[in-house]
Structure 1
């Protein structure tokens, strides 16, 4: 089968198309004929080698954690899906490929496109996990740094559904987009503290940093301390006494299915930009900039 892989850590130039063996499902696994694969910031960090100390990855690597496609084969003890089912979920073997193995998958609603389905697993799980960690409640104000990205897009909507007011930072080109999700949009960068204080004179109750672009100090100022601040992207967190929460996945098929149903009827918006599998390096280059609207996905013909 065709797959995108790399044999050494470094830039996106190390990503290339290769012919590899089709994986065989083990007990509890299904094999998925991939139609779309999600691209995450974590993919680029693993490729660069920056996470080897905390997330050791043996080479060669087929990147990708999110997959949507059709069940092609099932392993022993699989009873919830059958060959031919349209599914999406988390890949066990790398999603940038024509076939991938998966243990945790949900049935894809017929109304949900392959690309939008592949955009949900990581962002949806992360969004719900951090909102629970921050204990966001109705009537509270949540500040999100990087509200226009894949996780930010979902967090804004789920927080608003809980009855919270959301203030979301983004670049100039994404102000209207963040507002369309239900947040009060503002620019990141110099003067952030003053802008947020003008928007929320009574203060913010919690802060989520998805961007990792040096906003933690401003967050501490706005909160008056480090309580109820979580970052998914700034590795200085522990030095500042802030919770780093880019891990500890709780992969629930039930919750993923519920989110997919909401996405299928337009109750939850998923915004995707798609690239063909052969352009995986281009997609990761874009992802590495950190200036993304919604989710990047790869499509597999």
Structure 2
């Protein structure tokens, strides 16, 4: 099968389409013929080697944390799913490929497209996990850095649905998008502390850093300390005494709930752009440039 392989850390050009052996499903796994694979900023940080300070990646490797596709093989002990079923979930061992393994997955509703389905696993799990970690409650004000991206878009909607007020940072072109999600938008960059204080004079109760673009010092100033600040994207978190939340808590039942909600139109899933599998390097270039509105997806 074809897969996008990373043999050494570096820029997007290190991602190369290669022939590799198709994986075989083990106990608890299914194999799918991939129709869509999610591209995340996290993938770019792994590719560049920036995440080596937090965990080690053995090379060569196939990147990609989430896929959607049709089941073509079922491993031992798996029930309730058959060959040909449309599913989506978290990739085991890399999703930038024609075939991939999954052990945490859910049925794809008929009314949900492949691209929309593959935008849910990482963003939904991450948003749920960090909002719980921050203890965001109704009536509180949450600041989200990177509110227009795939994770930010879901986090804003879930926090608003829980009764929180959200201030979301985004690029100038994404201000209307963030407002449409139910947040109060503002821009990145110098003067952020003053802008947020003007928008939320009562203060900020919690901060969710999705962007990882050096916003932690401003976040600490706004909070008056490091309490109730979490980043999923800034490798410098430890230098500031901020927790880096990266250990996923994968729940197939929650995936199914989010998919049904999105299929009914109750959850906006924004797709920024799609790329053929062979153009994974270009997808990484677009992701690395920032200010992406929603999800970048590889199609197979």
TM-score, structure 1 as length reference: 0.97
Following superposition of structure 1 onto structure 2, how do residues 204-223 of structure 1 map, counting pairs within 5 Å? 204-223=204-223
Q: Is 1:297 paired with 2:294?
A: no
Q: Is 1:265 paired with 2:256?
A: no
Q: Is contact 2:42–2:233 with CA below 8 Å preserved after alignment?
A: no
Following superposition of structure 1 onto structure 2, how do residues 1-301 of structure 1 map, counting pairs within 5 Å? 1-245=1-245, 247-272=246-271, 273-300=273-300
Structure-1 separation of matches of 2:191 and 2:15 = 39
Structure-2 separation of matches of 1:213 and 1:248 = 20
* CA deviations over 1:48-93 (Å, ceiling 9, x no partner): 1222343222222111110000000001100131111100001112
Report SS of the residue matched to 1:4. Answer: strand
Report SS of the residue matched to 1:254. Answer: helix
Report SS of the residue matched to 2:226. Answer: coil
- Of stretches 222-231 and 152-161 in structure 1, the one that deviates more from structure 2 is 222-231
Q: Is contact 2:119–2:269 with CA below 8 Å preserved after alignment?
A: yes
Q: Is contact 2:54–2:235 with CA below 8 Å preserved after alignment?
A: no
Gaps of 5+ in 1: none
Q: Considering only aligned residues, what root-mean-square deviation do their CA atoms show, in Å?
A: 1.1
- Of stretches 41-50 and 171-180 in structure 1, the one that deviates more from structure 2 is 41-50
Q: Is contact 2:124–2:258 with CA below 8 Å preserved after alignment?
A: yes
Structure-2 separation of matches of 1:202 and 1:4 = 48
Structure-1 separation of matches of 2:254 and 2:128 = 9
Q: Give 1:192 deviation, angstroms.
A: 1.1
Structure-2 separation of matches of 1:288 and 1:169 = 17
Q: Give 1:248 deviation, angstroms.
A: 1.5
Report SS of the residue matched to 1:243. Answer: coil
Structure-2 separation of matches of 1:249 and 1:239 = 22
